[in-house]
């Protein structure tokens, strides 16, 4: 038996030997061919084929939807909204795909501004039969002071449009519902809000009750949290100190320390010209800003953030590129003594400095990423799962001197490691098998669902991770319509996976379902239908066997064959011995007979 064991150990050693190899590979040509220009504005499964498509703004006033395809180039420009559809001088500032009318087909919301005007106009193009109905566009009959937040205000799993429409104080928030393509406006929050512009408002669960709350960024700079109390948003009186900084970036929410709660991360500049950057974090329920990245020096060069512009805000984009269960980030930094700009990966590592002790984790800049460094004048960088294999790849946008449009670079993440993930996409659950007109309920980009897992890691410790789906929509937040949670190297079944969705006002039951024993490396599509009966929700499982799983399978089959051969040999020998015995017996019989 020890020989089989040795065999298995040899295989295991092979996997472990591979652990940690990380390399990027430029796959731009495979993905886009010669069409790799424009500003990546949003992601969503427009074609409802479970493949994420890419929404790209070109020439400031055109939208091109690149649909995922199985042949090179993997993304092809298929659906266009050309500039003659908009008023003259209109500039597209953001794109938010979503199912706004509740027919389970993806519509496209565009915000535009007209030069010299502060107000934002909102257009909606209705999706129909996997394309856009260009003639029947809707322009909202109120304008917003900034890009609106797409969220689910009334918990009906149809995205709503939230923002400030007044232009003279006091500024009250309003929400616009578009169910069945009928425009309906309602006053949203009970007190006035002096919203910051650009805002980084978020629709995310802040108290781990699996119901999305509302986070607002206001002038000051200050922050407001409106907790969903049985579906009603109620302002929470927390006195979070103003962060000790001069320039403030966009807030983001991730589970930075892996405790299942969402943490608030904020990139900032410590001085007015942004010579010194920092990233601060506040834990859920805490009022203390903890620095998680202060060290921006590499040899003689000091790097720092690029002060935000409306079209390129100072923001972090999160994703767990190494599947260790702790979210990492992509950011663009500037050489403070020169003029170069590059994208960098910030890896989430255990804290090794007294300053971040209270959090236990911190960021470390990965300086030696030659593939990222090769992209000059980067202006934006984000994560995207190119081949839908659960490993997050990267898209980097760069500015070329003589071109108006940005250049898109796609970098594949060849993370060859024995690390595992679970990829979860929560759909609207408005229909299931019986969708009207036989549509597939996939491409809906649902804001608000919350996903959390708890499991035991390889050391036997309890480990949690959580994420909100599409918590932010404005100012190029570039969130993915699914969540990828890394599981680290523990190949065990995932003990518990919880999924929760927003609630309707007055609903006291939490809408949450738990799944147990989820196989790692699976992609889960959760259909919360019907919304108020979590017991009936279903999850479709798609497996992505990783290399190591395949190798294990081969090893197992090999061992089985080996055992079979040995059994065969033993059997044959026994049979031979049997035969011999029988023959001897026969002889004896002969002798006896004589
Ligand atoms: C959309 O635009 C792209 C590039 O501008 C072009 O190649 C493609 O033919 C257009 N498609 C349609 C349907 O107009
Ligand atoms: C949907 O579009 C396809 C081609 O794109 C067409 O063959 C089909 O008839 C359309 N279906 C409906 C219901 O319009
Ligand atoms: C919104 O803005 C557009 C263009 O800037 C303008 O034509 C329209 O009248 C505005 N709507 C309202 C309600 O002010
Ligand atoms: C994970 O969550 C459980 C409760 O669900 C809690 O008991 C445990 O302490 C958490 N683990 C960590 C590392 O925060
Ligand atoms: C930063 O810019 C300075 C001045 O142009 C240059 O000497 C230095 O090499 C640059 N650092 C890097 C890492 O590119
Ligand atoms: C450690 O923290 C101190 C402040 O407490 C800070 O000045 C220093 O830069 C930090 N070192 C690193 C490597 O982050
Ligand atoms: C929630 O809001 C609705 C409508 O404003 C109100 O009727 C209801 O009483 C509120 N519920 C709670 C628990 O505050």
Question: Which of 113, 119, 146 best tests ligand 3's pocket when mutated (most atoms within 8 Å of CB)?
Answer: 119
Pairwise CA distance, residues 247 & 245, whole Å: 6
Pairwise CA distance, residues 480 & 510, whole Å: 25
131 bridge partner residues:
128
Closest ligand to the CA of 47 = 2
User: 338 CB less than 6 Å from ligand 5?
Assistant: yes
Confidence at residue 292, expressed as pLDDT on a 0 to 100 scale: 95
The protein residue with its alpha carbon nearest to ligand 3, atom 3, reads: 121
Point out the ligand 1 atom lying closest to the alpha carbon of residue 35. Answer: 4
pLDDT in tens, 1-33: 333 433 444 444 444 444 456 788 999 999 999
Residue pointed to by tokens 């027919």 = 103
3-state secondary structure of 270: coil
Nearest to 197 by CA among 275, 272, 309: 309
pLDDT in tens, 72-104: 899 999 999 998 898 888 999 999 999 999 999
User: 496 CB less than 6 Å from ligand 4?
Assistant: no
Phi, psi (rounded to 5 degrees) for 584 = -60, -40
User: 573 CB less than 6 Å from ligand 6?
Assistant: no
Closest ligand to the CA of 82 = 1
The protein residue with its alpha carbon nearest to ligand 7, atom 8, reads: 506
User: What number is the average pLDDT over the span 231-252?
Assistant: 86
Q: Strand pairing of 522-527 and 420-426?
A: parallel
- Angle (nearest 5°) at CA 482 between 323 and 466: 55
User: 340 CB less than 6 Å from ligand 5?
Assistant: yes
Pairwise CA distance, residues 37 & 182, whole Å: 36
How many other C-beta atoms are found inside a 10 Å radius of the C-beta of residue 129?
A: 9
Given a contact cutoff of 8 angstroms between Cβ atoms, the answer to whether 547 and 536 are in contact is no
The protein residue with its alpha carbon nearest to ligand 5, atom 9, reads: 301
Distance 480 CA to ligand 1 centre (A): 24
Confidence at residue 2, expressed as pLDDT on a 0 to 100 scale: 38
Distance 33 CA to ligand 1 centre (A): 14
pTM above 0.95, yes or no: no
pLDDT in tens, 299-347: 889 999 998 888 889 999 999 999 989 999 999 999 999 889 999 999 9
Pairwise CA distance, residues 455 & 133, whole Å: 46
Please report which helix (H) or strand (E) contains residue 582, including its range.
helix 547-593
Distance 431 CA to ligand 7 centre (A): 27
Confidence at residue 439, expressed as pLDDT on a 0 to 100 scale: 84
The protein residue with its alpha carbon nearest to ligand 6, atom 5, reads: 355
pLDDT in tens, 124-164: 999 988 899 888 899 999 999 999 999 999 999 999 999 99
User: What number is the average pLDDT over the span 447-464?
Assistant: 88
């Amino acid at each position: 038996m020890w020989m089989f064991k040795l065999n298995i150990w040899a295989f295991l050693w092979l996997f472990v030997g591979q652990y940690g190899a990380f390399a990027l590979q430029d796959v731009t040509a495979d993905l886009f061919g010669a069409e790799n220009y424009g500003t990546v504005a949003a992601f969503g499964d427009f074609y409802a084929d479970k493949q994420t498509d890419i929404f790209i703004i070109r020439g400031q006033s055109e939208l091109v939807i690149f649909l995922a395809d199985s042949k090179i180039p993997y993304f092809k420009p298929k659906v266009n909204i050309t500039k003659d559809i908009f008023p003259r001088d209109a500039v597209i500032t953001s794109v938010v795909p979503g199912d706004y009318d509740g027919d389970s087909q993806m519509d496209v919301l565009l915000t535009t501004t007209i030069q010299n005007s502060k107000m934002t106009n909102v257009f909606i193009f209705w999706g129909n039969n996997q394309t856009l109905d260009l003639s029947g566009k809707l322009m909202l009959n109120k304008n917003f002071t900034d890009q609106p937040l797409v969220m689910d205000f009334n918990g009906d799993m149809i995205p709503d449009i939230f923002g400030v429409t007044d232009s003279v104080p006091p500024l009250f928030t309003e929400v616009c519902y578009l169910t069945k393509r009928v425009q309906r406006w309602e006053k949203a929050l009970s007190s006035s809000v002096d919203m910051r512009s650009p805002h980084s408002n978020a629709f995310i669960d802040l108290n781990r009750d699996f119901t999305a709350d509302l986070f607002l960024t206001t002038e000051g700079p200050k922050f407001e949290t409106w907790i969903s109390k049985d579906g009603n948003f109620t302002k929470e009186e927390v006195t979070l100190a103003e962060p000790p900084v001069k320039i403030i970036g966009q807030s983001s929410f991730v589970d930075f320390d892996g405790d299942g709660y969402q943490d608030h991360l904020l990139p900032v500049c410590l001085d007015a010209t942004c010579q010194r950057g920092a990233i601060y974090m506040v834990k859920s329920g805490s009022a203390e800003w903890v620095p998680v990245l202060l060290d921006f020096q590499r040899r003689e060069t000091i790097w720092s953030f690029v002060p935000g512009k409306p079209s390129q805000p100072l923001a972090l984009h999160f994703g767990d590129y190494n599947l260790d269960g702790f979210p990492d980030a992509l950011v663009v930094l500037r050489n403070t003594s020169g003029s170069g700009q590059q994208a960098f990966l910030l890896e989430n590592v255990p804290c090794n400095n007294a300053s971040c002790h209270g959090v236990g984790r911190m960021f470390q800049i990965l300086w030696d990423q030659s593939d990222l460094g090769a992209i000059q004048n980067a202006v934006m960088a984000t994560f995207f799962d190119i081949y839908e294999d659960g490993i997050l790849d990267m898209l980097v946008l760069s500015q070329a001197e003589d071109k108006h449009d940005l250049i898109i670079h796609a970098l594949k993440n060849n993370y060859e490691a024995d690390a595992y993930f679970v990829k979860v996409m929560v759909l609207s659950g408005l229909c299931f098998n019986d969708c009207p007109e036989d549509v597939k309920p996939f491409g809906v980009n649902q804001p608000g669902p919350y996903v959390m897992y708890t499991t035991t890691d390889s050391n036997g410790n309890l480990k949690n991770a959580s994420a909100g789906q599409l918590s932010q929509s404005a100012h190029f937040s570039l969130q993915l319509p699914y969540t990828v949670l890394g599981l680290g190297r523990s190949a065990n079944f995932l003990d518990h996976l919880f999924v929760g969705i927003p609630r309707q006002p007055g609903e006291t039951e939490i809408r949450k379902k738990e799944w147990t024993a989820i196989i790692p490396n699976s992609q889960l599509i959760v259909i919360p239908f019907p919304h108020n009966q979590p017991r009936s929700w279903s999850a479709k499982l798609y497996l992505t066997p990783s290399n190591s799983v395949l190798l294990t399978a081969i090893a197992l089959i090999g061992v089985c064959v080996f055992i079979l051969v040995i059994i065969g040999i033993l059997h044959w020998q026994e049979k031979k011995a049997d035969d011999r015995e029988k023959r001897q017996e026969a002889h004896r019989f002969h002798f006896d007979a004589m």
